[in-house]
Chain A
Amino acid sequence: MTEAVFRADPPDARRCVVLADGVTVVYHRPSGLTHILAPPAPEVLAAMSEGDADTGTLIARLERDHDLSGTDDLRGTLTARLVELETAGLVWRP
């Protein structure tokens, strides 16, 4: 369950605008829905677009580009983000 693999649409399935207060407004073409994403959801989504990933792979990708040392429960937090993105339809289990 915790090691479920997730998939995201390719980057061109989305339009993203970053607003002045750091929030990203995403237009998701397959659904026609607009989502408002607060960090780290946009970064997670971007990392997921590189290819299917479980939480471990996702952590590796994020650590490559970001300093994650400020978070204790990396796995639990990122799994929660993935489930949230899954509910919104931005990632799914293939």
Chain B
Amino acid sequence: MMTDARLLTRALADPQSALALDAQGWTDLIAMARAEQLIGSLAHRLDGLDLPETVARLCDDARLSARHARTQALWEAEMGRRVLASLGEPVVLLKGTAYVAAGLSAGIGRSIGDCDILVRRGALDAVEKALIGQGGWEWVKEDSYDDAYYREHMHELPPLIHKDRDRMIDVHHTVLPLTARPTPDAESMIAESEELDVSDGGGGLRVLSPPDMICHSAAHLFADGDLAGGLRNLWDIDRLLRDFGEREGFWNRLGQRAELHQLSTPVSRALRLAEILYDTPVDGDLAGPGRAGDLLYVRRLLARDGWGRETRKCLRFAFYIRSHWLRMPPLMLAKHLWTKWRKGQANANGPGSA
């Protein structure tokens, strides 16, 4: 029996359980956690436990990295705020940056990549001009201005990178690609967003409302590639639900918002998967009864071995195909797969091993 990432999800959900691991178990756990970009979260969960010396040391290092990631993320957001403040447009932080800015548990120990912000579609041009004109951001690529593909098919501007800080910012005007079938109501998400606590000069940035945060996170869990990074996205959902679950009327509101955004199915599934993998307390009605497909998702999410390698290639490939199905209208997809089949290039290894 090959090891899978159940080792990792168990350690995250119940850190005490990790104390029974032997040296090989710890070695596997650390490699998996790094591969799934969950090492910082794990290190925080294990903090204070009686760990083997090397593990304690690696956890210290991981917490230091996470602290640095947090500083950098908050700084990019702040620099964005300084440039965009004069536009008077709502700027909504998304994903990791939002979690740390709002002080949510999901931000603890989280690795954070690019700075993702959501703005009104009508504000895109002004935002773009301000970031490039005053902010010191530039297109990653010279010809991005004419990049019709991004503007017409994607849910964000072509990526911008800051010329001095080498950090990327992704400006979204909706939360899923425009070709995707669920079409979440981005304008409504912005309207319901919440302003962050105003500290000295820090006002003006916003985060999604709690139910919308879950909707967005669930949309990403299932829409992104072949569920790559799924365990991390699901861990976000677990942490968010634990932060919000006790709030008055939260589950009701989540149900309503999921429906509005055409995300009821992904949200329900995310709740069920979080419960299975992380023991997340969820609302039974909203999660709905388990479905046969859930187990396939679980197997896919746990497809990682003690070397940090991806496993279950066929299952991964099936999810890869499925992700294209979700992203493209059927005709586009048929064309895409037809071309692939004709060239005989489809192999269980190729794509999706990002």
Identify which of residues 48-94 in chain A touch chain B, using a CB-to-CB cut-off of 8 Å. Answer: 87-89, 92-94
Q: Who on chain B is nearest to A94 by CB?
A: B201
A87 partner residues in chain B, CB cutoff 8 A? 136, 164
Number of B interface residues at 8 Å Cβ cutoff, please give it: 12
A30 to B72, CA, bound (A): 8
User: Given A7-B201, A87-B136, do A92 and B71 touch, yes or no (CB 8 Å)?
Assistant: no
A92 to B136, CA, bound (A): 14
Quick one: which of A29, A32, A33, A93 contacts B82, CB cutoff 8 A? A93
Question: Digit string of B294-305 for contact with A (CB within 8 Å is 1, else 0)?
Answer: 000000000000
Quick one: which of B68, B75, B164 contacts A30, CB cutoff 8 A? B75
B136 partner residues in chain A, CB cutoff 8 A? 87
Number of A interface residues at 8 Å Cβ cutoff, please give it: 12
B128 partner residues in chain A, CB cutoff 8 A? none
B201 & A92 in contact (Cβ 8 Å cutoff): yes
Identify which of residues 1-55 in chain A touch chain B, using a CB-to-CB cut-off of 8 Å. Answer: 7, 29-33
A30 & B78 in contact (Cβ 8 Å cutoff): yes
Tally of contacts, chain A with chain B, CB under 8 A = 26
Q: Is B87 an interface residue (CB 8 A)?
A: no
Quick one: which of B71, B79, B164 contacts A32, CB cutoff 8 A? B71
User: Given A87-B136, A92-B82, A93-B82, do A32 and B201 touch, yes or no (CB 8 Å)?
Assistant: no
Q: Is B247 an interface residue (CB 8 A)?
A: no
A30 partner residues in chain B, CB cutoff 8 A? 71, 74-75, 78
A77 to B164, CA, bound (A): 22
A89 partner residues in chain B, CB cutoff 8 A? 75, 78-79, 82
Question: Digit string of B186-219 for contact with A (CB within 8 Å is 1, else 0)?
Answer: 0000000000000001000000000000000000
Residues of A at the B interface (CB closer than 8 Å) are 7, 29-33, 87-89, 92-94
Jot down 5 A-B pairs with beta carbons below 8 A, ordered by A: A31-B71, A31-B72, A31-B75, A33-B75, A94-B201
